[in-house]
Copies of this chain bind each other. A is one copy, B any other.
């Protein structure tokens, strides 16, 4: 049977990319006939009714060694925390509250019990921080260390915010500074490379000056506080998504789902001082980190400008206006710091095309 398969024509996944593949597999499954399902594969998390008023949301996200993390510089405790965080981020991106998680581990033979204990310490910390519980899982042997988490969240049906609700005239906001996680990854990779070159004894790591961005990479918090603030202030955005693949990618997701355009202002992107310092250290443009870096796990949301008045008592760093929703035929644009306005291509990180820039600032 394998011999037969090799003779057939085939399409490498990288030819259609991650989002192309997801679309293809959705097509194989066809439309659901279950009318309890309000959102399926199309949003950050699935949404299904549990009664006349309430819904549950369900998401799953995996982290695989060598693809999503490097065990030589990802402490086990951080890995556990991050694996929960990235899933909670998807729940929060529906304006829902996380409740229950399952954790599936694929563990190489040489990993000791103590390392998994540390991993679970991180999972426990995350569960406390987000007020949720690990209710089950599966643990098995594997060649590559793999952690796959599923999280169930809950909300009132009318509180759920999809990607698809943005309206021309809305402002586009983000909940925190961007590009820091990518800057932290760069610092960790440089540190490991110097360690490899110079050896442990002669090498003095100097990670302190990048401690904030490294923390943002290793243990990013999900923005549960933001949606709690909104609920307290009776605010419901028109559209919402979490920033996992870079702002450029997420703006395009919201625009595509909502049938609108957008204009983002590069000068308004919130950046931490350390992120700017890191970009300078590496001789790179910090705006590229902010737009295409990924793994920020902040929220991008669209809402009428006057609604922002409701949040006037929040600290000034609770959110940042980065642009505006426009009509679809105006396209998805970015006004660069130079004053020039160009198309904002999705870009972002596609794990099936490592090392390639796929998208970016268009000319």
- The interface of chain A, by Cβ under 8 A from chain B, is 1-3, 5, 8-16, 18, 21-22, 24-25, 28-30, 32, 34, 36-37, 39-41, 45-46, 48, 50-51, 54, 56, 58-62, 64, 66-68, 71-73, 75, 99-100, 102, 104, 106-107, 109, 111-117, 120-121, 123-124, 127, 133-144, 146, 148, 150, 152, 200, 351-352, 354
Known A24-B117, A116-B21; contact A146-B146, beta-carbon cutoff 8 A: yes
Distance, CA A127 to CA B141, complexed state (A) = 27
Return chain B residues, CB-CB under 8 Å to A46.
100, 102, 135-136
Return chain B residues, CB-CB under 8 Å to A150.
58, 60, 102, 150
Q: Among the listed B3, B12, B16, B114, which residue makes an inter-chain contact with A8, where contact means beta carbons less than 8 Å apart?
A: B114
Distance, CA A121 to CA B144, complexed state (A) = 27
Asked whether B113 lies within 8 Å of A61 as measured between CB atoms, the reply is no
Return chain B residues, CB-CB under 8 Å to A8.
114
Distance, CA A51 to CA B49, complexed state (A) = 12
Asked whether A60 lies within 8 Å of B120 as measured between CB atoms, the reply is no
Asked whether A2 lies within 8 Å of B62 as measured between CB atoms, the reply is no
Return chain B residues, CB-CB under 8 Å to A10.
112-115
Return chain B residues, CB-CB under 8 Å to A115.
5, 10
Known A64-B106, A75-B1, A143-B66; contact A48-B135, beta-carbon cutoff 8 A: yes
Known A24-B113, A120-B28; contact A60-B102, beta-carbon cutoff 8 A: yes
Q: Among the listed B5, B29, B113, B135, which residue makes an inter-chain contact with A58, where contact means beta carbons less than 8 Å apart?
A: B135
Distance, CA A9 to CA B25, complexed state (A) = 46
Query: What number of copies of this chain does the assembly contain?
Result: 2
Residue of A9, A136, A139 with most partner-chain B CB within 10 A: A136
Some 7 contacts from A to B, beta carbons below 8 A apart, are A13-B113, A25-B120, A25-B139, A50-B51, A64-B140, A109-B352, A144-B144
Distance, CA A67 to CA B143, complexed state (A) = 9
Q: How far is the CB of A2 from chain B (nearest CB, A)?
A: 6
Known A25-B117, A46-B135, A144-B142; contact A102-B56, beta-carbon cutoff 8 A: no
Distance, CA A104 to CA B187, complexed state (A) = 30
Q: Among the listed B45, B62, B141, which residue makes an inter-chain contact with A352, where contact means beta carbons less than 8 Å apart?
A: B141
Q: Of all chain B residues, which has the CB nearest A148?
A: B148
Asked whether A135 lies within 8 Å of B24 as measured between CB atoms, the reply is no
Asked whether A72 lies within 8 Å of B138 as measured between CB atoms, the reply is no
Asked whether B139 lies within 8 Å of A22 as measured between CB atoms, the reply is yes
Asked whether A139 lies within 8 Å of B18 as measured between CB atoms, the reply is yes
Asked whether B67 lies within 8 Å of A28 as measured between CB atoms, the reply is no
Asked whether B21 lies within 8 Å of A113 as measured between CB atoms, the reply is yes
Asked whether B60 lies within 8 Å of A351 as measured between CB atoms, the reply is no
16 more CB-based (< 8 A) A-B contacts, given A21-B139, A29-B123, A148-B148: A1-B73, A3-B200, A12-B109, A13-B107, A13-B109, A13-B116, A41-B135, A48-B135, A58-B135, A58-B136, A58-B150, A64-B106, A64-B141, A106-B144, A140-B351, A152-B152
